[in-house]
Amino acid sequence: MTLDMVLLTLLYFVVAVIVVLIGIFLFEWLTKKYNDWEEIKNGNVAVALSVGGKVAGICIVLAFSINHNDSALDTFLWGLLGVALQLIAYLIFELMTRGFSVESELKVRNIAVGIISLCVSVGLGFVIGASIT
């Protein structure tokens, strides 16, 4: 292990944290019916599962990106694309659930919806990550 390797690891770590924070901010902005962190603070497990899935999904994309790219900039850009695709997937998921609103169900602590939301985010994280070239 050289100093260059340690510095590169730290650089990728910083890039990953920035991308995750951007993703969390955008998802928070997208959910208008509640505040994610206030709900989590108040013990809303459904929202915690959903947010955790989004974070995991973004991190999965970042892991593939770090593994398949030669620069932190490429990792950052692929990470942002992953966040955008996760946002689109969330909107499609909301549209595909006829008869109820995912956001409303998360607000009323529907754990089943939280679990499926987590699974969608993690599953698509693998699909998006695997598509990185």
Per-residue model confidence as pLDDT tens digits over 10-54: 999 999 999 999 999 999 998 888 999 999 999 999 999 999 999
* Number of residues in the chain: 133
Contact (CB, 8 A) for 39 and 113: no
Per-residue model confidence as pLDDT tens digits over 98-132: 889 999 999 999 999 999 999 999 999 999 999 98
Residue whose C-alpha is closest to residue 23's, from 103, 77, 72, 79: 79
Q: What is the pTM of this model?
A: 0.91
Annotated domain spans of the chain = 3-130
Amino acid letter, 117: S
